[in-house]
Copies of this chain bind each other. A is one copy, B any other.
Amino acid sequence: MPREKAERIIPLAPLDRLIRKAKVERVSEKAASELGKILEEIGLEIARRAGELSIHSKRKTVTSRDIQLAYNQWKRP
């Protein structure tokens, strides 16, 4: 197994399913892996921001509200 895959957090099967949901005909395995890399990068950035927001609010638990605000602030141009 390539080294790269061992470090991945989101499994390939759901990523493949996600791409197929867009009604495409065929999906290469590398395409699913590439989407996973991208979504993990975005997810980690949102999680970092959410963690900062929870600390800012003097809480130890990251909540769905932290994730929502982190995402809204991140996606704002």
Residues of chain A at the chain B interface (Cβ within 8 Å): 9-11, 14-15, 17-19, 21-28, 30-31, 33-35, 38-40, 42-44, 46-48, 50-51, 54, 60-64, 66-68, 71, 77
Q: Are A50 and B38 in contact (CB under 8 A)?
A: no
**Least distance between A76 CB and chain B CB atoms (Å):** 10
Docked Cα-Cα span, A9 to B22, in Å, equals 13
**Other 4 A-B pairs with CB < 8 A, given A18-B47, A19-B47, A38-B46:** A9-B14, A19-B50, A25-B60, A28-B62
Docked Cα-Cα span, A17 to B47, in Å, equals 10
Q: Are A10 and B19 in contact (CB under 8 A)?
A: no
Closest to A24 in B: B51
